[in-house]
Copies of this chain bind each other. A is one copy, B any other.
């Protein structure tokens, strides 16, 4: 189970009912959050996300539209008497802001709060069913993208077949791991005869804010779903480059080169009330593109 719910799809300034960046990632074990723009806690209420289940929050960078909602969410967790531990990952200075704001309001958290400063690319979190890695993106300040990968599921025992061959249950673990069966008398049965493939492990890459950067291609290669920002339409390529942002066609070009399953574009400039052109332009390059739409959940 891997799905992405969009809470905010707009760039720097809220406009036309669109909110700053925030996404909820549903995994088999946890709800994760990628970025937390202002108003995210209100969007969480609007879309009936079970907030107590969010236990890992990842902040890509310290431009306000990606984290100004975090302190309010933490504060509400405190007021609601949350007890579930919470982990926050982000640039090291983030904890200074949080600590200062809690100090001056005399707030103490009733739950275990752990801050994990992001200092280099690599594994941030490993759970039973998934991993989260971070990778650098090129923006005006230090910025990180995130890659969630489901773990490969063990193969499924085919009970009918194992009964037929009279395989002892003590052999099931090695069958699930993909090994062939060898009986005491040397009899040999191919794994594929005794087990079935499980659900394919899926992956989702969140490319945060970034200039057009082909260094992302090998990182997001073959991901099932990729979110890539598309702050500007193709006509404003120069402006995008100047601001370390990307256009619709640039986002789609990364998706095409990385041969990904599906592309989600967002972080639309507040200058545009109508955003359909972003999709139209991107689909000319990479047809399987969708506009990140607030309140919509994209199954990976």
A residues near B, CB below 8 A?
12-15, 19, 38-39, 41-42, 45, 62-65, 68-69, 71-72, 75-76, 79-80, 91, 93-94, 96-97, 100-101, 104-107, 140-141
CB <8 Å contact, A64 and B71: yes
Contact B72 A71 (CB under 8 A): no
Are A79 and B39 in contact, with the CB atoms below 8 A? no
For residue A68, which residue of chain B has the nearest CB?
B72
Are A104 and B97 in contact (CB-based, < 8 A)?
Answer: yes
Q: Which of A38, A63, A71, A76 has the most CB of B within 10 A?
A: A38
- Contact between chains at B64 and A42 (CB < 8 Å): no
| Residues from chain B with Cβ under 8 Å of A12 in the complex | 75-76, 79
A66's nearest neighbour on chain B, judged by CB, is B105
With A12-B79, A15-B45, A63-B105 as known contacts, state yes or no: A38 contacts B72, CB within 8 Å: yes
A99 to chain B, nearest CB (A): 10
Closest to A70 in B: B68
- In the complex, the answer to whether B64 meets A72 with C-beta atoms within 8 Å is yes
- Cβ-defined partner of A105 (8 Å) among B42, B45, B105, B141: B141
Inter-chain CA distance A146–B89, complex, in Å, is: 39
A100 partner residues in chain B, CB cutoff 8 A: 93, 96-97, 100
CA of A100 to CA of B96 in the docked complex: distance in angstroms? Answer: 8
Contact A14–B38 (Cβ < 8 Å): no
Bound state CA distance, A14 and B72, in angstroms?
A: 10
Residue of B14, B63, B105 near A41 (CB, 8 A) is B14
